[in-house]
Structure 1
Amino acid sequence: MVAQDSFRDYVAARLVSLSRAAFLLTGDRHLAEDLVQQALIQVASRWEKISAGGDPDPYVRRVLYTQHVSWWRRHRLIDRPHAVPPDVVVADRAHDTDTELTVRQALRRLTPKQRAVLVLRYFEDLTEAQTAEVLGLSVGTVKSNTRDALARLRAVAPELEDLREAR
């Protein structure tokens, strides 16, 4: 029972962060929910061992990112429509929304590995070493994937440079 309570507490504390990362990876709210659910199912079966080793976050993130890459490999030939972002009543954030859409569209133009590296490095704010650990890559591979992903973004989405200069 203690392990179940510990797992519930962990999920309650980290669900929003995991969902945000999954959404950035998939670009689709429903696929992100499925990805988080699939990752948490996998983690739940090993929770006692995972939580006994200290901080479970690196392991859970690694499961999330590897599940995404595996899912993408299995389904990459199937064209799936993207969900329309939900209508939410908020203060006028037209510029923020434009920026968000531009970033989301740009991330879709990257490979899943490149997207995972950028999400971990710049949205999850992990170091190169932490990103390498989560993805099971070497630090050099993380650096080269980051470099290649940023170069690809500059090539396919030059409007992002305009956003950066506007800040």
Structure 2
Amino acid sequence: MAHGEVLEFEEYVRIRQDALLRSARRLVPDPVDAQDLLQTALVRTYGRWDGIADKRLADAYLRRVMINTRTEWWRARKLEEVPTEQLPDASVDDSTEQHADRALLMDILKVLAPKQRSVVVLRHWEQMSTEETAAALGMSAGTVKSTLHRALARLREELESRGYEGRALEPGKAGRDKAGKERERCAA
């Protein structure tokens, strides 16, 4: 890679690292794993940086690398989880409602399959359209819609099983139910 390309990549990482880490944090629940995920994605992207003709698409490229990497990790993991009927309560150190809601959302996202979690993260946290999500994940728009519908239904079931059926939760904002409106739209 030419010296100019290296400097361009370093500048890109310096500017976008916080946003990219937030994306990684939404894909994997553990903050340390999120940092590892981003670092791995950056290393993989660095090797292909000169091949990205339109650098405005670098975020989308990196998100896709993070999703693929997370999927590789998920497939390679040893099955150490034991399925149970009742999930343990999530412990929350911060007492504010917003932090509690965020912790709850991050916890219930664990029940989703990686593909479902990717669709939910890209559609609701990254605010990508159905078409953008489909392009980022390499699937059809219809598959994105059906996957999102099933994922939101699964999240709703999980919330109800935890006694939250009356509360509205939205990624990033407590108290407003954008996700609920999306569920109603998908259900129609």
Q: Same fold (TM over 0.5)?
A: yes
Match of residue 58 from structure 1: 60
Residues 23 and 63 of structure 2 are in contact (CA less than 8 Å); yes or no, is this contact kept in structure 1? Answer: no
Indicate the SS of the match to 2:127.
coil
Residues 103 and 160 of structure 1 are in contact (CA less than 8 Å); yes or no, is this contact kept in structure 2? Answer: no
Q: Any unmatched runs of 5+ in structure 2?
A: 82-90, 177-188
- Supply the AA of the counterpart residue of 2:96: A
Change (3 A) 1:64 1:166: closer
In 2: Cα distance, 1:68 partner to 1:59 partner: 14
In 2: Cα distance, 1:45 partner to 1:38 partner: 11
Cα drift, residue 116 of structure 1 = 0.7
Q: State the number of aligned residues.
A: 158
Alignment of 1:1-167 (within 5 A): 1-50=3-52, 52-55=53-56, 56-75=58-77, 77-79=79-81, 94-158=96-160, 159=164, 162-164=167-169, 166-167=175-176
The percentage of aligned residue pairs carrying the same residue is 37
Residues 35 and 68 of structure 1 are in contact (CA less than 8 Å); yes or no, is this contact kept in structure 2? Answer: yes
If asked which structure has higher relative contact order (CA below 8 Å, sep 6+), I would say: 1
Structure 1 runs (4+) greater than 3 angstroms displaced = 164-167
Cα drift, residue 161 of structure 1 = 5.0
In 2: Cα distance, 1:76 partner to 1:144 partner: 29
Change (3 A) 1:161 1:153: farther
Normalising by the residue count of structure 2, what TM-score does the alignment of the two structures yield? 0.77
Residue by residue over 1:78-121, the C-alpha shift from the partner in whole angstroms, topping out at 9 and shown as x without a partner, is 45xxxxx9x8xxxx861111111111111111111111110000
Q: Any unmatched runs of 5+ in structure 1?
A: 80-84
Residues 22 and 36 of structure 1 are in contact (CA less than 8 Å); yes or no, is this contact kept in structure 2? Answer: yes
Normalising by the residue count of structure 1, what TM-score does the alignment of the two structures yield? 0.86
Residues 154 and 161 of structure 1 are in contact (CA less than 8 Å); yes or no, is this contact kept in structure 2? Answer: no
